[in-house]
Amino acid sequence: MRDQQVESGTSQDSRRANVEKTTVDLRVDGLCCTECAVAVEKALAHRPGVRQYRILTAAEKVQVDFDPRRVSAEEVAQSIAALGYKVHPVGALVARTLSSPRVFSPDTVRFAFVAVVALIALLEIGGEFLGWFEVAKERIPMPVLLATIALGGYPIFKRAALGLIHRQINVDMMMSVGILGAAALGQYTAAMLIVFFMNIAHYLEEFTTGKSRKAIQELIRLSPKTARIKLDGREIEVAVEALKPGDVVAIRPGEQIPADGVVVSGRSAVNQASITGESVPAEKQAGDEVYAATFNELGYVEVRVTRVGPDTTFGKIVRLVEEAEAVKAPIQKFADRFTTWFLPAAIGAAVLTYLVSGEPLFAIAVLVAACPCAVGLATPLSVVASVGGGARHGLLVKGGRYLEALARVDCVVMDKTGTVTFGKPQVTDMIAVNGLPEGEILRYAASLEKNSEHPIASAILEHARAKNIAIPDPEGFEYLVGKGLRGRVAGKTALLGNARFLRESDVPLSAAVETRAQALEQDGKTVLLLALDGSIVGAIAVADVIRDEVPAALAALKRLGIKRLLLLTGDNERVAAAIAAKVGVTEFRAGLLPEDKIAIVRELQQTGLKVAMVGDGVNDAPALAQADVGIAMGVVGSDVALEAAHVALMRDDWRQIPQAIIAGRRTYRTIRQNIALGITWDVVTMGLASVGILTPVMAAATEVVPDVLVALNSARLLNISHQPE
């Protein structure tokens, strides 16, 4: 499956951007590998009206953007169904995932019949050299053998025929040649056993790959099903799909919160493990946000709905996990190229075997042994298992590309405010100059900060309100990024900012003020200087609190072999040096504007380093996008942060950063193991088949082995976030 087509689909040029389009999500049973994806890709590429598509093999899902004036959703689904797949609307997902399989489905009955006949003949594998094969042939009547081949081989023959119709060489075509070739040579028992083992392979592959998809299924099981709406003093139970923003829902103890919203009454403790991965309940009261799929553990609360269904934070997590494989790791390109060229090469190998040996059964065995599915499954199963396992613990990686990038990271750059620190500073000191009372200094400063959303502004405003200081509105307010604030307060021109800002504004600074400010900064505090009508009148010191887990997390990064750790801040060098020393970082850059952070990331990348940038996901969004891996902390409830980052930490916990790097390294290592296993198995079995050591039946019996091993190896990644490197 070609990387550019899967990621961007058949994207058209911008001239058609205004054409109406509709998106449909389809569940495609049996969409399990690169070969399947290529078939679906070709079908959609030739369907008029299809604009873009994403093929998600590990999630067994296809997302299609189409023009409803040229093609309908039903026709899109029919294009895929024509390839022999069962196609369901994505809304049927939960029912399909949670319901038990039908015991007496046609597939089950057909397999049971094939299995009974095959078990009678299984002595052929061990007893062929003892003459038991002829006994087996005599015990099974010819009509039964033919019926078994026809019934058991029907799905294989059907997919092979569809491949021919769509001019695509597929594994089923090669299996069909093997089955029919064995039958044509009079090896009816062998043909029947090949059919049997192909069916066994199909069921085992579905079972084992399902283990790697377990993370997606477990997330889906957490989806809320019903809600109780408050209406005219009554509570009415409805399906979650019926909720809309503005509804008020009642949630009792032990019940699941059905949608994102705001508590309007009541008080409770809410378990948010499904979102953040942290099982310690969070206290909630009126005005607090709550999230869909979390659990109300204690009190009764009423919640006004703000977002429902796929728009909730939980809905977006599920979507990002399902779509993770579409953001393909570079190593997947190799697997795609291998799969594309492998089957034609296998046919060539079978022809060459026949020409050299003159034995048609040897050539048939080569065809039966050739199966690139394990290589095609190697990356998507590993990515989905790793991403899904991480999501259960509040660590969301947006695809294979970023897992591989995490594996290669050797430099971590971090923002200070709100990342290394809590981003909730407090006023700690005030310096009065020229006799202006501290209350007046605070009043002028709070007035300038009144329209700002910066954490330092919040600290100053909270301090002023705590002292019952009236805060006037500023006039002509101006915010100079990275420098300070300017405006008129009570008829005076007021400036509030760093020393550089005041110097650039021609405000002289006394030696005494600078000395006092430097002493505070050396203690890790940020000092804001206040000037009125061109004269310095005072200063306010603000300090932020370093997150407790940061020093240990940075030490863990060093143990993982990270070459450079770099702290970035808009504060001056003395504050930066004090914070860096407290967290154990030797490199820092101070006095930075937002664009400076992007330049620093680029500078590091140009030296050959693979850079991870850690920030808050909002103010640092450009630098996060520039980094090889952008890691945003505490993104719950923030759509901007969730979309901006390559890796999203659902809670503010620095310990997840070394875990993310470990997850990336283990996933990348697992993918390489899977690909090596798949290629080695194919080469060895085809080689043994070409010299007659593996019969067609033996080749069929061993074909499923690499698929199962790849799936089980990938499934180990489900719990990767709690394992040490």
Which residues pair with residue 305 across a beta bridge? Answer: 261
CA dihedral sign of residues 566, 569, 571, 572: positive
Which residues pair with residue 612 across a beta bridge? Answer: 412, 629
Tokens of 571: 């504060």
Q: Are 594 and 481 in contact (CB under 8 A)?
A: yes
Tokens of 18: 């205004």
Do strands 61-66 and 22-29 pair parallel, antiparallel, or not at all (unpaired)?
antiparallel
Kind and range of the H or E run holding 216? helix 214-221
Tokens of 184: 């044509």
Q: Which of 618, 568, 626 shows the shortest CA–CA distance to 413?
A: 568
Kindly write down the DSSP assignment for every residue of 448-513, as one continuous string.
Answer: HHTT--SHHHHHHHHHHHHTT---PPPEEEEEETTTEEEEEETTEEEEEE-HHHHHHTT----HHH
Catalytic residue among 415, 628, 652, 682: 415
652 given a catalytic annotation: no
Amino acid at 292: A
What are the distances in angstroms from CA 651 to CA 268, 278, 412?
Answer: 20, 8, 19
Do strands 629-633 and 484-489 pair parallel, antiparallel, or not at all (unpaired)?
unpaired
Taking the C-alpha atoms of residue 219 and residue 385, their distance in angstroms, rounded to an integer, is 12
**Lookup result for tokens 């022809």:** 351
Tokens of 350: 């079978």
What are the distances in angstroms from CA 447 to CA 335, 423, 495, 528?
Answer: 61, 21, 11, 14
Torsion angle, CA of 99/101/105/107, rounded to 10 degrees? 130
Kindly write down the DSSP assignment for every residue of 40-68, as one continuous string.
Answer: HHHHHHTSTTEEEEEEETTTTEEEEEE-T
Tokens of 331: 């190593």
List CB contacts of 14: < 8 A, sequence separation 6 or more. none
Q: Which of 56, 42, 48 shows the shortest CA–CA distance to 12?
A: 48
Taking the C-alpha atoms of residue 578 and residue 164, their distance in angstroms, rounded to an integer, is 70
Tokens of 33: 């590998």
Give CB contacts under 8 A, 24+ apart, made by 469-474: 469/439, 469/442, 469/443, 470/443, 471/443, 471/446, 471/447, 472/443, 472/447, 473/447, 474/447, 474/448, 474/450
CA dihedral sign of residues 320, 326, 332, 338: positive
Tokens of 342: 């492998």
Active site amino acids? 415
